[in-house]
Amino acid sequence: MWRYLLRRLAQSVAVVFGVLLLVFLIMQLTGDPAALMLPPDSPGADIERARIMYGLDRPLYVQFVRFLVGDIATGGGAGRTVRTFASGGGWLEVPIKPRKGVIRGDFGESLRYREQPALAVVIERFPRSLELMVAAFLYAVVLSLVFGLVCALRQGSLLDQAVRILAILGQSVPSFWLGLLLIIVFSVWLGWLPAMGSGTWWHLVMPAVTLGSLSLARNTRLVRSGMLDALGEDYVRTARAKGLTERLVVAKHALKNIAIPLVTLWGLDIGALFGGAVITESIFAWPGTGRLVIESVTRRDFPVVQAAVFFIALVFVLVNLVVDLIYGWLDPRVRLGR
Amino acid sequence: MPEARVPEARVSVEWADRVPIMAPSRLGELWRSLHRGVGALLGAGLLLLMVLSAFLAPVLAPHDPLEAEVTKRLRPPVWTAKGTSEYLLGTDQLGRDVLSRTIYGSRVSLIVGITAVVISGALGVLLGLIAAIQGGRLDALIMRVADVQLAFPFILLAIAVVAVVGGGLLNVILILGVTGWVSYGRVVRSQALSVKEKEYVEAARALGTRSLVLVFRHILPNVMTPVIVLATFNVASYMVAEASLTFLGLGVQPTIPSWGIMLADGREYMRAGWWMAIFPGLALVLTVLSINLLGDWLREYLDPRLRHTE
C-alpha cells in the first residue's frame, strides 16, 4: 500500500508541475504577455515599462524559474530599478516588481484589486464555491442512489421508464440553459426563489440543482445498470439461495460490488462540478471562484486567472489522489499494481 | 504498465469496458438494429431535421436573422395574446426574428461540433498510436501531457486559452479540437497496446509488411470502434462547450447568429422576453439529445453485452 501511495504522490507532484508549466505557457500564447497585462490600446511605452516591471524582457526559461521560485534563484531583482529609454526621449527609471514564486504562493498582484496577492483573491472566494459544489454533489449522489436503486429493483415499471427517460433527457440539458429555465420558472413566473446572489439556503437551491443535474442523470443510469448487472451475478443468486433477506442481498452483496465504478464516477463528477461551477456561478451571480475566473478574464486580470486556474487544478489533483487511494483501498488489485 | 492502471480504469467506466473491439458488420444489420430502437430512430430523425435546417437555413428561415426592426422588438410567440403570425417564435430585444436566428444558429453548432471532433479525434488517434507503438519515453511523455490536461476541467482550460488568444469561431474550434485529444489518445493507446500483440499483426509483421502499412491497415481499423462512439458523444459535448463559451462572452462573435449568443441575450431579458432564452436552448437540447440517443444506440450496437441492461 505504501509503495502505491508514494507512486501516486510522485505522479501528482509531476502533474502539478506540468500544470504550472501550462499555466505559465498559456500566457505566452499571444507572444506578448506584457500587452495582456494592460488595457487593449495602451501606448508602446507603457507596454515596454510593464515588460521590465514584471521581468518579461528576460529569457523565457528565466521567467519560468522566476515564476516558480521567485527572485532568489535568478539573482535578485527585487527592489532594483532599471534605466531605460523613455519613448518621449530621456531616461526612465522602472522599478522591478519582486517575485517570491508560486512555491510560496506568489502569483503576482491582482491587477484589479491593487496591492492584493492574486492567490489570496482566489482563496477568499473558494469557500463559496465549495459550499455550492458540496450541495450539488450531495443532491446528485443521494438522488441518483435512490432513483438508480428503485429503478433496478422495479425494472420495467412505470417509474423505471419515467426515470430512464428523464435521465437521458437530463444528460442532454446543458447546465446553463437549465439555470436560465429555473430562473424563468421559479423566480420570474412563480417568484418562489431568488434569481441572483447568495446568503440564505433559498439562494443555494437553484444553483445546486443546476450544477448537479448532469451528474444526477449520469449517476442514475450507472447505478441502475450496475445494480442490474450485479443482481444477475452468481454471488447474488447464492446469497438469495442461502436465504438472506432481499434487503441484505441488495445492500451487502449487490451494492458493494458497484462501489468501485461509483467511486470512480464520483471522482469524475467532482471534476465536472469544478468546470460547471464556472458557468453556474456566472448565471446566478454566485460569488465563488468560478465567477471570479470569468470576471478576471473579461477585466484582463491575468495574475488572478493564472492563480485561479492553478488553484482549481491543484484541488482537482488532490481530489483525484484521494479518489485513487479510496480505489486502492476498495480494490486490492489496484494497490498491488497487478 | 502498472502506474497507468488507475487512470485508465477511470476512463474505462465510460468507454473502454463498454466498447469491445468488434468490426461493424453489414449495413443491413445496422439498419435493422436502428429500426428496432425507438430512441435511436427518434435521435436519427431529430438529427436529420437539425442538419437539414442548417443546410436549408436560407430557404426555411422566414426572415433575415440579422435584420433588426426596433419598432417590433420583444414580440412574444404567436400563441400568446400579443403574438403575431409574422414572428412565430417572437422577436428579440432588437426586433430580430427568434425562429430565423434559431434556424441559422444550428450552423455554428454543427460546424463547431463536427470540425472540433475531427481535429481532436485525428490528434488523439495519432498520439495514441504513437504512444502505443513507440512506447518508451515518447509514450511516457504523451501520457504525462494527457495527465496534466486531465487536471483541468475541460471548460476551464478552454476559458484560460480563449482569455489569452481571444474568441471567434476559428479560435473556438481550434481550442476545443486541440484540448480534446486526451480521451481519444488514451482509448486508442490502450486498445492498440492489446491489438499489436494479436496474432494477425504478428503474422503481417512476419510477412515483412512495412511498419506504416502495419499500423494503418492492421492496427488502426481495429481500434476505431471506441473512437467512433466517443466521437459521436463528443460532437454533442463540443456543441455544448461552444454554446457555453459563447454564452459567457468568450466564444463566437456576437455578429454571427448562434445559440450561445441568443441565450446570452435572452439572459438579459428573462423578464421581458422569456422566449428569447427558451427556444435556442430547446434547439440545443434537442440536438444534443438526438446525438446522445444515437451514441447510446451505437454503443449498444457495437457491444451486444449491453443490450440486456439498457
pLDDT in tens, B80-100: 888 787 888 888 888 888 899
CB B283 within 8 A of CB B89: no
pLDDT of A4 reads 79
pLDDT of B309 reads 43
* Cβ pairs bridging A and B (under 8 Å): 160
Tell me whether residues B292 and A171 touch, CB distance under 8 A: yes
- pLDDT higher at B124 or B213: B124
CA-based angle B76:B81:B84, to the nearest 5? 55
Segment B176-192 shows an average pLDDT of 91
Write out the three cell numbers for A15: 502533474
CA-based angle B254:B260:B261, to the nearest 5? 30
Whether A279 and chain B come into contact, CB under 8 Å, resolves to: yes
Residue B100: Cβ-neighbour burial (10 angstroms; 0-12, 13-18, 19+): buried
Whether A40 and chain B come into contact, CB under 8 Å, resolves to: no
pLDDT of A144 reads 93
Residue B203: Cβ-neighbour burial (10 angstroms; 0-12, 13-18, 19+): exposed
Tell me whether residues A18 and B5 touch, CB distance under 8 A: no
Segment A185-196 shows an average pLDDT of 86
CA distance A21 to chain B (A): 10
CA distance B145 to chain A (A): 8
CA distance B294 to chain A (A): 12
CB B73 within 8 A of CB B95: yes
Q: Which range marks the domain in which residue B142 is found? A: 2-308
| SS3 per residue for chain A | CHHHHHHHHHHHHHHHHHHHHHHHHHCCCCCCHHHHCCCCCCCHHHHHHHHHHCCCCCCHHHHHHHHHHCCCCCCCCCCCEEEEECCCCCEEEEECCCCCCHHHCCCCECCCCCCCEHHHHHHHHHHHHHHHHHHHHHHHHHHHHHHHHHHHHCCCCHHHHHHHHHHHHHCCCCHHHHHHHHHHHHHHHCCCCCCCCCCCHHHHHHHHHHHHHHHHHHHHHHHHHHHHHHHCCHHHHHHHHCCCCHHHHHHHHHHHHCHHHHHHHHHHHHHHHHHHHHHHHHHCCCCCHHHHHHHHHHCCCHHHHHHHHHHHHHHHHHHHHHHHHHHHHHCHHHHCCC
CB B288 within 8 A of CB B240: yes
Tell me whether residues B292 and A279 touch, CB distance under 8 A: no
Q: Which one-letter amino acid corresponds to residue A231?
A: L
Tell me whether residues A177 and B285 touch, CB distance under 8 A: yes
Q: Which residues have C-beta within 8 Å of that of residue B141, sequence separation ≥ 6?
A: none
Confidence check: pLDDT of A273 > 60: yes
Q: Which of 281-300 (A) contact B at CB < 8 A?
A: 282-283, 293-294, 297-298
Is the Cα dihedral A275, A281, A286, A290 positive or negative? positive
Contacts of B303 in chain A (CB under 8 A): none
Q: Lowest-pLDDT range, A250-259, A285-294, A309-318? A: A250-259
User: Domain A119-335: which CATH class?
Assistant: mainly alpha
What values do phi and psi take at B12, rounded to 5? -65, -25
Closest-CA residue of A relative to B291 is A172
- pLDDT higher at A170 or A99: A170
End-to-end CA distance of chain B: 33
pLDDT of A182 reads 92
Confidence check: pLDDT of A148 > 50: yes
Whether B284 and chain A come into contact, CB under 8 Å, resolves to: yes
Q: How confident is the model at residue A115 (pLDDT cuts 50, 70, 90)?
A: confident
Task: Identify the H or E element spanning B33.
Answer: helix B27-36
Closest-CA residue of B relative to A305 is B160
Confidence check: pLDDT of B181 > 80: yes
Contacts of B157 in chain A (CB under 8 A): 309
Segment B112-140 shows an average pLDDT of 93
CB A287 within 8 A of CB A125: yes
The DSSP 8-state label assigned to residue B308 in this structure reads G
Q: Which one-letter amino acid corresponds to residue A11?
A: Q
pLDDT of B34 reads 60
CB B164 within 8 A of CB A29: yes
Q: Lowest-pLDDT range, B60-64, B70-74, B288-292? A: B70-74
* Three-class SS state of B91: strand
Q: How confident is the model at residue B177 (pLDDT cuts 50, 70, 90)?
A: very high
Whether B307 and chain A come into contact, CB under 8 Å, resolves to: no
* Three-class SS state of B55: helix
Segment A303-320 shows an average pLDDT of 88
**CA distance linking residue A215 with residue A144, whole number of Å:** 8
pLDDT of A220 reads 92
Q: How confident is the model at residue B176 (pLDDT cuts 50, 70, 90)?
A: very high
Residue-wise pLDDT for A43-83, tens only, equals: 777 787 777 777 777 788 888 888 888 776 555 555 566 66
Our measurement of the distance from residue A288's CA atom to the centroid of its chain's CA atoms, rounded to an integer in Å, reads: 12
Tell me whether residues A297 and B250 touch, CB distance under 8 A: yes
Nearest to B95 by CA among B84, B108, B106: B84
C-alpha dist (Å) from residue A91 to A81, A82, A193, B92: 12, 10, 60, 55
Tell me whether residues B160 and A174 touch, CB distance under 8 A: no
When CB atoms are compared, the residue of A181, A298, A327 closest to B6 is A327
C-alpha dist (Å) from residue B67 to B70, B84, B98, B170, B265: 10, 17, 11, 24, 16
pLDDT of A195 reads 80
Contacts of B148 in chain A (CB under 8 A): 15, 18-19, 21-22
- pLDDT higher at B283 or A157: B283
End-to-end CA distance of chain A: 12
CA distance B207 to chain A (A): 34
**CA distance linking residue A329 with residue B215, whole number of Å:** 39
Closest-CA residue of A relative to B236 is A172
Average pLDDT taken over every residue of chain A: 83
Q: How confident is the model at residue B221 (pLDDT cuts 50, 70, 90)?
A: confident
Q: How confident is the model at residue B150 (pLDDT cuts 50, 70, 90)?
A: confident
Longest dimension (CA), chain A: 95
pLDDT of B286 reads 93
Contacts of A1 in chain B (CB under 8 A): none
**CA distance linking residue A314 with residue A237, whole number of Å:** 44
Percent of chain B surpassing pLDDT 70: 86
Confidence check: pLDDT of A328 > 80: no
**CA distance linking residue A36 with residue A22, whole number of Å:** 17
Confidence check: pLDDT of B7 > 50: no
**CA distance linking residue A335 with residue A333, whole number of Å:** 6
Confidence check: pLDDT of B1 > 60: no
Say if strands A81-85 and A91-95 run parallel, antiparallel, or are unpaired: antiparallel
Tell me whether residues A313 and B152 touch, CB distance under 8 A: yes
Contacts of A317 in chain B (CB under 8 A): 151
Q: Lowest-pLDDT range, B37-51, B112-126, B232-246? A: B37-51
CA distance B267 to chain A (A): 7
Contacts of B293 in chain A (CB under 8 A): 168
Segment A126-144 shows an average pLDDT of 93
**CA distance linking residue A169 with residue A210, whole number of Å:** 14
Q: Where in chain A is the domain with CATH 1.10.3720.10?
A: 119-335
pLDDT of B15 reads 38
Q: Lowest-pLDDT range, A209-218, A251-260, B13-22? A: B13-22
Match 490600446 to its residue by C-alpha cell.
A41
Whether B296 and chain A come into contact, CB under 8 Å, resolves to: yes
Tell me whether residues A26 and B161 touch, CB distance under 8 A: yes
CB A311 within 8 A of CB A126: yes
Q: Which of 90-129 (B) contact A at CB < 8 A?
A: none
When CB atoms are compared, the residue of B149, B152, B164 closest to A30 is B164
When CB atoms are compared, the residue of A11, A222, A264 closest to B9 is A264
**CA distance linking residue B278 with residue A147, whole number of Å:** 28
Segment A20-41 shows an average pLDDT of 80
CA distance B279 to chain A (A): 10
The DSSP 8-state label assigned to residue B198 in this structure reads S
> Domain count of chain B?
1
ipTM of predicted assembly, 2 dp: 0.83
Most A CBs within 10 Å, among B42, B152, B263, to test the A interface:
B152
**CA distance linking residue B210 with residue B215, whole number of Å:** 9
Contacts of B278 in chain A (CB under 8 A): 181, 184
Nearest to A316 by CA among A262, A261, A259, A278: A278
Q: Which residues pair with B91 in a beta bridge?
A: B97
For residue B35, what is the domain's CATH number? Answer: 1.10.3720.10
Whether B221 and chain A come into contact, CB under 8 Å, resolves to: no
Nearest to B270 by CA among A211, A193, A204, A180: A180
Q: How confident is the model at residue A159 (pLDDT cuts 50, 70, 90)?
A: confident
pLDDT of A334 reads 64
Percent of chain A surpassing pLDDT 90: 16
Whether B254 and chain A come into contact, CB under 8 Å, resolves to: no
Segment A166-173 shows an average pLDDT of 88
